[in-house]
Amino acid sequence: MTGVAATVDNQPFAPTLGRGAARFDELFRRYSRELHRYAYRLSGNAHTAEDLVQDSLLRAWRSLDKLQDPGALKGWLYTIVRRENARRFERTQPTQSAVPTDEIAASGKTYDTSPEAFVVRRALQALAVEYREPLVLQVVHGYSQQEIADRLGLTSAGVGTRLFRARQKLRDAIGERV
């Protein structure tokens, strides 16, 4: 990026401002409002969006000299915001319940006694463990596909296949009983 100026709104962004505060201030002045709107759409929270924008602009400011195409500055900033948002979820680990997954339905305070719920529970119990376990981890516990893979010692693609087959088998089993 050295010696080349990016233009935003037909105004050049001078990469030669040095690495000081003036360069960061210029990035903030030009992009913070637009990035804040994007971060708010990603996070759904104004305070989180502010944090995302600040972290993203700081990361961009530190790496601005590595940007090879000055025309890609705006897209690059959006990518940094999106990745910063993803990092929020990497930092927080879901807490694991001490209740075994087989006992979750029985330990709940609101037990659905409808015939449909009975059919679903029966079909879920009839699934082979290799299909039931990833499905319960995803649907009941809220784990991502990668987290399930890490927990079960499988590949992410393997978990995806098991989840697909579990849903398919569940649909088939429920369809037969309805």
| Domain CATH number, residue 110 | 1.10.10.10
- pLDDT of 5 > 50? The answer is no
Residue 11 lies in a domain: yes
Residues 165, 112, single domain; the answer is yes
- pLDDT of 9 > 60? The answer is no
Last residue of a domain, one of 40, 58, 91: 91
CATH of the domain at 46: 1.10.1740.10
Say how far apart CA 54 and CA 25 lie, in whole Å.
Answer: 11
pLDDT of residue 104: 61
Last residue of a domain, one of 63, 91, 119: 91
- pLDDT band (50, 70, 90) for residue 139: confident
Residues 123, 168, single domain; the answer is yes
Residues 85, 11, single domain; the answer is yes
What pLDDT digit, counting tens, does each position of 88-132 carry? 877 666 677 676 766 665 555 566 778 888 888 888 888 998 999
Contacts of 24 (CB under 8 A, 6+ apart): 57, 58, 61
pLDDT of residue 26: 87
- pLDDT band (50, 70, 90) for residue 8: very low
Instruction: Please state, in angstroms and as integers, the Cα–Cα distance from residue 93 to each residue in 96, 143, 144, 147, 152, following that order.
Output: 9, 10, 11, 10, 16
Residue 1 lies in a domain: no
- Domain assignment of residue 28, given as a range: 6-91
Residues 87, 128, single domain; the answer is no
Virtual torsion, Cα 142, 108, 118, 160, nearest 10 deg: 10
Residues 129, 56, single domain; the answer is no
Residues 160, 107, single domain; the answer is yes
Number of structural domains (the chain) is 2
Average pLDDT value for residue range 58-85: 89
Residues 56, 108, single domain; the answer is no
